[in-house]
Each structure stands twice: as C-alpha cells, then as structure tokens.
Structure 1
Amino acid sequence: MDVYMKNYFEVVFSNFDRDCLNERYKRRNLVEFFRAVIVGCARGENKSDTTSCTNLILATLQYHKQCKYDNGGVCLMGKYHNVLYIAMKLAFDWGVQDTEAVAELLNEIYTCENTFERIFLGAIFGTAAPHFIAGWKSDFLDREENVHALVYFLDHANKGSLEYTEDEKVYRFIDVPLESCGKASPAKVVIQKASSEMLMILLRFGAKITDDAATNPVESILERMKEYKRAYPYELVGCLKLILRVIPTIKFTVPRQVYKQLELPEDYNYDRKIVLENYAVFLEDHLIPSTRCGLRPVELKHLCRCAVRQRLWENFELPFGIYKLPVPVSLKKYLDLFDD
C-alpha cells in the first residue's frame, strides 16, 4: 500500500488540476477508486480491508505534510487539502478503529482550517445547506450519514483526548467554533436552530454550553418561547429540558450594575427574583422546575449527576464511560441524559 500510494501521488495525482477535487462528485469518484485500491492491496498483502484503509490514510497524511513542508509549512489548499476529506470519508466508511490515525487526520484538518465545520454543518443542517453557508457540499450521502459520521469522529476525538488552542482558549473537538456561523460553538448553533435531536448527541459527548455568560442558553430559549404565548414548539421545549439535565441550576445573566443600583448583598438570590418577575409563566406550565431556579433546593440526585458527568468529562469518558460504572442500568440512563 505504501509503495502504491507514493507512486500514485507522485505520478498520477501530481498531474491533476489544483481544483480537481472542489466538486463533490469528483471527490466521491476518488473515494470509489481508493475503495478498489484498498480491497486489492488487502488481498495482495494478505491483510484486512480496515488495515489497508488505515495505511492509505497514513500515506495520505504523509503526502499532505510533505506538500506543506515543501511550501514553507503553509497548506496549498485545493486538491492538496481536499485529499484529507477523501481520507476522512474512507475512515468512516471502513470504520477505522485506529484512534491515533484518525486523531492525526483531525489534527491536520484543524491545522489548516482552525475549524471542523465540514464535519459538523452537514449533521446540523443537512447535506444541501453547507453549500449556501460555506460554499461547499458535504462529503456524506445524507443527513443521517452525516450524523453517524459526526458520532464516529466525536468518539475518536474523546479517545484521543484531542484539544485545540485558539486565542489562548482551549477547545475540545466538540466545542471548536464554526467559522461560517459567527464562530459560535456547534452546541450553540444547534440551540439556535432548536434541534433537540442534535443537541442530545452533543450534550451526551460533553459539549459545553455555559462558558460564555453573555449568551446564556436557557435565557435565550425562554425569551424565544415567550413569543409563542404558551403554544410552545416541541423542539424548543426539548432543548430546554435537555439543557436543564446538564447544568446544576439556572444562572441568569445579571449585569453587575444591577447589584449596585439595588444595593443587594453578594449572596442575594437574584435567580429567584428573575424567574418570578420574568418567567413565572414557565413555572406555572412546569417547564422550569422550582428546584433549578432558586425557589427550592436542587435535588441531590441531579447534583450527583452533574458531578459524575463533570468527572467523566475531565477524563474524556463521556458518554461511553458511563456504562463502565458499577451502578444500576436505570442510573446509567439517568447519567446519560435519557431520563429526567
């Protein structure tokens, strides 16, 4: 495989136009070609198809790195970069379980783009939308395959403990900002879209939603729900319920000057004041539990869930590490956000 790929890149691929992989159908054609190469090399070398696919991915990464090195460490983009997405599609199609190889592939993509939107946008918006949002089409067949691929890469990112630094902030794969969506995190884009199905996937894998106090997700949803005058959209309600499963309690955004104007003590229960004044209707409709907004103490069971999930997150063990815990199945489902 290594010799074949080296000759292919040097003799064949080098003669292709720089923009030869810009169109999706051309990338798919190359994927099909490499699929035949994988099967052929596996039989010739008496190896499994997955092993041959892993070797092809590593050869592709080596080619990409060499091209960058020859260009002073700067990616040439065009076909030289799009070949990484050929490797990405093959890794998913063959179910490559070599986390080191998949992690290296993700790292190369980030090094050149500083985002993973070509993995996330297709799962969030479907296959057509990315063309209008970012000018490219998803490499996966449909939205369902996009979602499966996202889960596949989320799993490997956790296994590889992948983290990325931008503007002195450290992001995990799941939280890397999406360039074409105003540099918002995938979770915040999903909340804005009100897609509870996608939000469930991201939260299970440990997506952060409360790091930026200026964009409180609970307040954002509650303000939108006010517009519907108690005819609440199912997806918005679903997003709210999921968020309340991963945060210990609602912390409303309170400008510091409010405390000064009212001369309130530092330990004043401002969350209780806000919810009674602005969101009492949601208490009446049982959309906000009284235990999550300062009216009553938070349930110990819920606090334990948040603490256990935090420890699992720190060790890159969400969500599959939950099922290694010596606790009843019902508690595993509770920890994995399937139950309230």
Structure 2
Amino acid sequence: MDSFMDFYFEEVFVKLNRDSLNERYKRRELVEYFNSVITGCAKGQNKSDNTSCKNFVNSALKFHNTCKTKNGDVCLMGKYHNLLYIAMKLAFDWSLQDNGVVAALLDELYACERTFERIFLGAIFGTSAPFFLAGWKSDFMDKEENVHALVFFLDHATNANLEWKDGDRSYRFIDVPLESCGKASPVRVVIQMGASEILMILLRFGARITSDHVSNNPIESILDRLNEYNRKYPYELVTCLKLTMRAMPHLNLTVNKDAYKHLELPEDYNYQRKVALEKYGDILNDHLVLSSRCGLKPVELKHLCRCLIRDRLWQNFELPFGIYKLPIPMSLKKYLDLLDD
C-alpha cells in the first residue's frame, strides 16, 4: 500500500488540476477508486481491510503534511486539502478502528480550517443545505449516513481525549464553533433548528450548553420561541427544551438587576424566580419546565447528582460510554445517559 500510494501521489495526483476535487462527485469517484485499492491491497498483502485503510489514511496525511511544510506550513487547499476529506470518508466507510490515526486526521482538519462543520452540518441540515451555507456539499450519502459519521468521529475524538486551543479557550470536538453559522456552537445550531434527535446525540456526548459567540443562553432562545406560539407549542421544540433541562442543574436566566433597583429588593432576593414568572409564566403554568428547575422550588437531589456525575465523566472523557462501566443499576445508567427523566 505504501509503495502504491507514493507512486500515486508522485505520478498521478500532482498532475490533477488544483480544483479537480472541488465537486462532490469527483471526490466520490476517487473514494470508490481507493475503496477498490484498499480491497486489492488487503487481499494481495494478506492483511485486514482495516490495516489497508489505516495505511491509506497515514499516506494521505503524510503527503498533505509534506506539501504543507514545503509551503511554509500553510495548507495549499484545493485538491491537497480535499484529500483529507477523501481520507475522512474512507475512514468512516471502513470503520477504521485505529484511534491514533483518526485523531491525527481530525487534528489536521482543525489545523487547516479551525472548524469541523463539514462533519456537523450534513448531520444537522442534510446533504444539500451546506452548499447554500458554505458552498460545499456533504461527502456522505444522506442525512442518516451523516449522523452515523458524526457519531463515529465523536467516539474517536472522545477516546483520544482531543482538545484544541483557540485563543484563551479550549474546545473539544463536539463544541468547536461552526464558521458558516456565525461561529455558533453545534448544540446552539441544533437547538435553533429544533432537531431533537441530533440534540440528544450531542448532549449524551457532553456538549456544553453555555454562552458562545452568538449570545449567552441557548435555553432562553427556546423559551422565547415557545412564547411566540401562544401556548400551541411545536413538539420538536418542546422536546429540545426537555432534553436540555436533563443536562443542566437548573435554568440560568439572564437577569438585569438594574431594572429592579427601584424595588429595593434584598441582596439575597431570588431574581431567577421573578424573571421566570414574569417572562415565561405561561410555559411554567403548562408544566413545560419543572418548578424545581427555575428557582420556584429546590432542585431535586437526584438530578443534581446526575449533573455532577456527568460532569466528572466529561472531565475524564468518559461520556457517554463510561456511564455503563459504573456499578449501578441499569435504570440509573439510563438516567445518567439522559435517556430517562
């Protein structure tokens, strides 16, 4: 495989037009070609398909890095960068098990783009929508395959303990901002879309429901949208709200204390309760948010324990699969994994 790939890159790939892999169908043709090469090399060398796929991904990374080094450590983009997406698709197609190789591929993608939107957007919007958002089409066949690919790379990124620095902030794969969505976090985009299926995946893997480049509190955006429906709430939006409330200790509403100065309230006054009742009274009356999660009553100890245990597992890169290593009943494992409430 190594000799073949060296020959291919030196004699064939370098002669391709720089923009020859910009079209999705061209990348797919090359993926099919390399699928045949991997199968042939595996049989000819009496190795597993997984080993042959690993060798291909390593060869692609080596070639990309060599070209980048010769260009002053700046990616040449065009076909040189699209080669990484061909490697990405092959790694998924063959369910590549080598965690280090997949981690190296993700590192290289982030170093060039500072985002993983070409993995996330297809799962969130489908295969065609990213073209209107970012000018490219997903390398995966349909939305279902995009979701499977997202889980595949989430699993590898978690197992490899991957984190990336951007200024003074550190991001994990699941929280890296999406450039084409105004640098919003994936979980915020999913919440705004009302895509509860994808939201469940992100939350199980420990997506942070915190402030980002867009605004302070993604849950408030759900509550504000629900207020617009005059108590005829969309199912998907309600589901998103309930899922996010499983993953957070309680609502943390934005409070402008200056607006209440004229009331001369005590220092320990429960502003969260007041804001919740004033802004979202109908939602509370309709029991879409538990009274124990918005300051009206104390938070349940069981729920606080869930949030604390999940946070410890997240810190150790053990979400969600580390839950099932705990010596506790299956009902509690499902509760910790956000499957039950």
The 5 A counterparts of 1:299-310 are 299-310=300-311
The 5 A counterparts of 1:208-223 are 208-212=208-212, 214-223=215-224
- What SS does the corresponding residue of 1:97 show, helix, strand or coil? coil
Aligned to 2:115: 115
> Does structure 2 conserve the Cα–Cα contact (< 8 Å) formed by 1:214 and 1:253?
no
Change (3 A) 1:259 1:310: farther
In 1: Cα distance, 2:211 partner to 2:332 partner: 27
Q: TM-score by structure 2 length? A: 0.97
1:333 equivalent to 2:334? Answer yes
- The alpha-carbon deviation at position 295 of structure 1 amounts to 1.1
Query: Identity of paired residues, percent?
Result: 68
In 2: Cα distance, 1:147 partner to 1:190 partner: 13
In 2: Cα distance, 1:254 partner to 1:214 partner: 14
In 1: Cα distance, 2:318 partner to 2:123 partner: 22
Tell me the matched-pair count.
Answer: 340
In 2: Cα distance, 1:166 partner to 1:263 partner: 42
Structure 1 unaligned runs (5+)? none
- The alpha-carbon deviation at position 69 of structure 1 amounts to 0.5
Name the amino acid aligned to 1:98: D
Q: TM-score by structure 1 length? A: 0.98
- What SS does the corresponding residue of 2:12 show, helix, strand or coil? helix
In 2: Cα distance, 1:17 partner to 1:326 partner: 57
> Does structure 1 conserve the Cα–Cα contact (< 8 Å) formed by 2:227 and 2:283?
no
> Does structure 1 conserve the Cα–Cα contact (< 8 Å) formed by 2:196 and 2:237?
yes
The 5 A counterparts of 1:144-293 are 144-212=144-212, 214-258=215-259, 260-293=261-294
> Does structure 1 conserve the Cα–Cα contact (< 8 Å) formed by 2:255 and 2:275?
no
User: What is the CA deviation profile of residues 102-157 of structure 1, one whole-angstrom value per residue up to 9, with x for unaligned ones?
Assistant: 00000000100010000000000000100110000000000000000000000000
In 2: Cα distance, 1:152 partner to 1:239 partner: 23
- The alpha-carbon deviation at position 256 of structure 1 amounts to 4.7
C-alpha RMSD of matched pairs (Å): 1.2
- What SS does the corresponding residue of 1:137 show, helix, strand or coil? coil
Structure 2 unaligned runs (5+)? none
In 2: Cα distance, 1:27 partner to 1:218 partner: 39
- What SS does the corresponding residue of 1:313 show, helix, strand or coil? helix
User: What is the CA deviation profile of residues 53-73 of structure 1, one whole-angstrom value per residue up to 9, with x for unaligned ones?
Assistant: 001000000000000001111
In 1: Cα distance, 2:148 partner to 2:28 partner: 18
Aligned to 2:14: 14
Change (3 A) 1:217 1:49: same
In 1: Cα distance, 2:252 partner to 2:147 partner: 31
User: What is the CA deviation profile of residues 36-86 of structure 1, one whole-angstrom value per residue up to 9, with x for unaligned ones?
Assistant: 110111112111001100010000000000000011111000000000000
- The alpha-carbon deviation at position 168 of structure 1 amounts to 1.5
- The alpha-carbon deviation at position 258 of structure 1 amounts to 3.5
- What SS does the corresponding residue of 1:34 show, helix, strand or coil? helix
